[in-house]
A and B are shown apart, each in its own frame.
Chain A
Amino acid sequence: MTSAAQDTGAGAAVGPGSVSGAPASSRSGSTLPFLDRLQIELGYTYDDNVTLGRAPDEILWDQSVGFNASASRALPIDDHVRLVVTGLLTGQKFDNYNGLSNLLGGLEAELQYRQSGAFDAITFAAFARGWLNNYVSHLRDGSQYSVGVSARGAVTDRIELSGELAWNQRHAQSDVWDLSDWSARVNVDYSLGSHGTLYLTGEYQRGDVVSDGFATLVNVSLAQVFVLDDAFPGKDLFAYRSSARTWLSTVGYNLPLGQRSSIDVSWRRIQSTPTAQLGFDVQGSLRYVDNQYSVVWLMLF
């Protein structure tokens, strides 16, 4: 995934949710029957490049509000292995470009293995996620899935480290959003005790990205497929799919507001560089940069 606003990528988080730095205390226990965990997130995001545009006149900003609900149930298989099934529902409402507004629903199954209950024992997991996507821009409607492996463990009593390797694929009404990519993600949580958690996430993706731009030689040359984007009416912007190397980095801070809620603020920076070699000189850079600033209120039930 390269733009949360456009959801141009295939996998991982949607909307303002999936906050990494949620306090450890909020990760277990539920007051609801049949569920081990129900988390609701309400958030606001400002995105300075929802088009993932390259040239200045192709870059549009927007802001959105969103929610993210996830409900989990852990099913023990033996002393070391359990299956965690999570239902996901997320939505975003954009302010300027309503075509980007969306409602996504899906399921995740994660098979976890932990050798022992020791503090420094690592939890290994294999996971599969699937979503069904519905956008106001119907070109984006479709589905997506991810499969991968992950590992998570405490390094010290303050530092928790996790990593994930995933294959992500997406299908949509338009071939432009038929995407696939590999991603590798590393996350560090640094606990400040009762003052919250700082977290830092770095992710590298290699695969397809979608950008919006005008019908210029550079964009068409980069494009594997393009379509007039119905999310930006009157802008004459074409969404196009290209192959790229993408770096995503997130810095965030999670402040607990009690046992079952917290506030999370984060800055996510996405930098994507097309891998295609053009046969001519291009003025300026082919690189795309997007910044997303989010504030999310998390509640755990």
Chain B
Amino acid sequence: MMALTRTIGWISAVAAVLLLAACGGGGSPGDVHPGAETPIVPGEPNAFLLFPNPQVQADGSLQTDTPAYAQAYYAAIDPNNTKDTLAKWRAANGFDSGTGTQVTSVFGDSRDLGFGRRLTARQNPDGTLAFYVENYLIKTGADYAFSPINLEAAIVRDPNALVYVAGIEFSPGPSGGASFAKFFNFNVETGVRENTVDIDGRGDKVMPGPCIACHGGRADALTPPDASGNPRFNLLLNAVSGARGDVMGQLPPFEVASFQFSTDPGYTRADQEPLLKAINRMVLCSYPLPASSTFPEDACRRKASSGEWQGTAAALIKAAYGGDGLPNPDYAEPAAPSAWASAGQSSLYDAVEAPACRGCHQMRGTGMQSDLDFETFTKFQSFADRTFATVVNRGDMPLAKLIYDTFHASSGEGALADFLVGQGFPARGAGGTALRPGRPIADPGPDRVVRQGATQLSAANSLFADTYSWSIVSGPNGATLTNANTVQPTFNATTDGTYVLSVVASNASAQSAPTSLTLVVNNALTPDPSAIRFSDIKAALQDGNECQGCHAPGSPLHPPVAFTSYDRDGDGAVTPTDDAWFYAEVRSRINFAEIVASALLQKSSGHHHFGGLGPGFDTSLPPGQPGRAKYDLFLNWALNGAPQ
């Protein structure tokens, strides 16, 4: 009995030790699990690779990020699905056919997307171009960032690290005409064309949005369905191709100085330079030429139309290779353009524009209005308000997560803050620290004129906030505010006059500064804001020749949209379908994510608009003044959801 008791005692002791031995672990902070997806931190900016105006629909969906958008896009550029697999697409574009010029280069995209990239480019004898790139990434659960391992994976073509295969083709549309860029994404395993792509590990986004957001493309809303009932892709009037599906996207230069290269023989920078120069020559051929040139590298370029992009990025390619004639064999990062240097802003260019803006912005602008290309300091300066909004407040610029992270970790953040402060924008906090997106910002919407009675307000455009506190700061007596601690309170005034309200937005950790909203109550306002319909907007757009004088089909100014009523669908008559299409085009110019940034309001009030300030759109006047009556009309329509 004693022996048994002792045995049980020993067994218990051993069991206790074994139990202890089974404990522990849990992982250390430095552990990295390959294959883990990038975590998305709640409350931090996460609108990367989306257009600033993603076409918010009445149900809250982002039309540019819905399957219908990709389906309409591919139906427009490949109606018979002759390029719905990588193999078919490659064959259609002549890859490995032994004709034309075909080049493959492998490099690390250390600045923009972080991939190891294997790019194959070809130029066919007929001048059409096609590029496809295998993108390799070793996922480590961290933010997408470049690692030399990604480059290694591209060199050995590690199938486990291949995240997507993108194709861009520069060729005529299904009905012929001028070549334009078309964007494809293919499944890495099956080769089947896909409607979505996950470029930055932050989830699938719908094609072609993530590509063309940076490649100079537009994100116009879909137009009414065709005979099969499917919405059609927008047709841009300034597209030289005249093809639906021509989003005005371009082929960006390959900025070799921002790449990383292997030390493996055959993949060094010296090995890759001539290949990339050949590819940049091809890219240059896709750029329209705004003025005649006798240089051989320009011989393949067609004449630019005033309504389209003017091949602005050609200047970068030429400068990087030594100027016209491309005399230098190797790419070298050019010095700041003279228009920046002469303004004394070379350092701002080097710290901000070149690394964080230029890649996408040089693909933008048209011959009629090119402020957005930031080719001069003056143009950059003219966008200071939007730069403050998008970079410091919203966090949707820089557009790609990797560039965003790099920018905020660089001296560029401080340089931009200094610039913005100099332009009158509070880009630094109380302690002098450069402000970053993620703090709550209250946005009650623009100042406006309303009628007496109930007016629903909204702070839904506020940023990084989930609770709200409204108050009436000043105004005639008798006004009330109900549901003042909600995102959509109701303001009620029974007396005409000017009222100032304030809203503070908060999240769990911070509170915004109060933001003011001025409401001018005028009971004689006509029409009632809640009764404004598209017919009112159309009437304003077609009032005289102020808008439709330029915005008309066949206009020599080649605007992207016409404000006249015409046979949009080409069925020989102007019908309600044409009017629905017209409505979709105009609504497309409202940014419901940030009403004040809507093109419909910005352009008409003289911001970055070839036509300048339109009569009735003078926003320097207070709401309700006759000189901004049309602006008030458009604004109230937009604030009411732009009903048809």
Residue numbers of A with Cβ under 8 A of B are: 73, 75-77, 83, 85, 106-109, 128-132, 139, 141-145, 169, 171-176, 178, 215-217, 220-221, 223-228, 278-281
Contact = CB atoms under 8 A, between A and B. Distances in A.
B25 A75 contact: no
Interface in B1-59: 3-4, 6-7, 10-11, 13-14, 17-28, 30-34
Contacts of A279: 158-160
Interface of B: 3-4, 6-7, 10-11, 13-14, 17-28, 30-34, 138, 147-149, 152-153, 156-161
B6 to A, nearest CB: 6
B27 A175 contact: yes
Given A216-B152, A225-B33, A280 B28 contact: no
B149 A220 contact: yes
Task: Tell me what chain A mostly uses at the interface: helix, strand, loop, or mixed.
Answer: strand
Nearest to A283: B156
A75 B8 CA distance: 10
29 contacts: A75-B3, A77-B3, A83-B11, A85-B13, A106-B21, A108-B14, A128-B18, A129-B18, A130-B21, A139-B28, A139-B30, A143-B21, A174-B30, A175-B25, A175-B33, A215-B148, A215-B149, A217-B161, A220-B149, A221-B34, A226-B31, A227-B30, A227-B31, A227-B32, A278-B160, A279-B159, A280-B153, A280-B157, A280-B159
B3 A171 contact: no
A174 to B, nearest CB: 4
B158 A173 contact: no
Task: Tell me what chain B mostly uses at the interface: helix, strand, loop, or mixed.
Answer: helix
Contacts of B159: 279-280
Given A75-B3, A217-B152, A85 B14 contact: yes
A171 B23 contact: yes
B14 A225 contact: no
Contact of B22 (A83, A145, A228): A145
A77 B147 CA distance: 62
A221 B137 CA distance: 11
A106 to B, nearest CB: 6
B644 to A, nearest CB: 53
A134 to B, nearest CB: 11
Contact of A75 (B6, B20, B156): B6
B10 A85 contact: yes
Nearest to A279: B159
B31 A171 contact: no
A130 B17 contact: yes
B17 A76 contact: no
A226 B17 contact: no
B34 A109 contact: no
B31 A128 contact: no
Contact of B14 (A109, A139, A220): A109
Contacts of A281: 156
Contacts of A132: 17, 20-21
Contacts of B31: 174-176, 225-227
A176 B23 CA distance: 15
A32 to B, nearest CB: 17
A173 B156 contact: no
A25 B148 CA distance: 59
Nearest to B23: A143
A227 B140 CA distance: 11
B5 to A, nearest CB: 10
Contacts of B14: 85, 107-109, 128, 130
A77 B7 contact: yes
Nearest to B35: A224
B157 A171 contact: no
Nearest to A173: B28
Given A217-B152, A225-B31, A225-B32, A171 B22 contact: yes
B157 A76 contact: no
**Which of B18, B157, B160 has the most A CB atoms < 10 Å from its CB?**
B18
Contacts of B3: 75-77
Nearest to A229: B30
Given A143-B23, A174-B28, A280 B156 contact: yes
Contacts of B138: 217, 220-221
Nearest to A217: B152
Contact of A144 (B21, B27, B30): B21
A42 B14 CA distance: 26
Contacts of A83: 7, 10-11
A158 to B, nearest CB: 34
A215 B30 CA distance: 14
A145 B20 CA distance: 9
A169 B24 contact: no
A130 B34 contact: no
Nearest to A225: B33
A166 to B, nearest CB: 14
A142 B24 contact: yes
Given A132-B21, A171-B22, A175-B27, 10 more contacts: A107-B14, A128-B18, A130-B22, A143-B23, A173-B24, A173-B28, A174-B27, A176-B31, A217-B156, A226-B31
Contacts of B28: 139, 173-175, 227
B24 A131 contact: no
Nearest to B136: A217
A2 B175 CA distance: 67
Contacts of A131: 21
Contact of A130 (B18, B33, B147): B18
B22 A142 contact: no
Contacts of B17: 106-107, 130, 132
B265 to A, nearest CB: 12
Contacts of A169: 22
A85 B13 CA distance: 10
Nearest to A77: B7
**Which of A106, A178, A280 has the most B CB atoms < 10 Å from its CB?**
A280
B7 A75 contact: yes
A171 B24 contact: yes
Contacts of A173: 24-28
Nearest to B21: A130
A174 B20 CA distance: 17
Nearest to A141: B24
B24 A143 contact: yes
Contacts of B21: 106, 130-132, 143-145
Given A109-B11, A279-B158, A280-B158, A215 B147 contact: yes
A241 to B, nearest CB: 10
A221 B149 CA distance: 10
Contacts of A108: 14
A145 B14 CA distance: 11
Contacts of B23: 143, 171
Contacts of A220: 34, 138, 149
A219 to B, nearest CB: 9
Nearest to A215: B149
A236 to B, nearest CB: 12
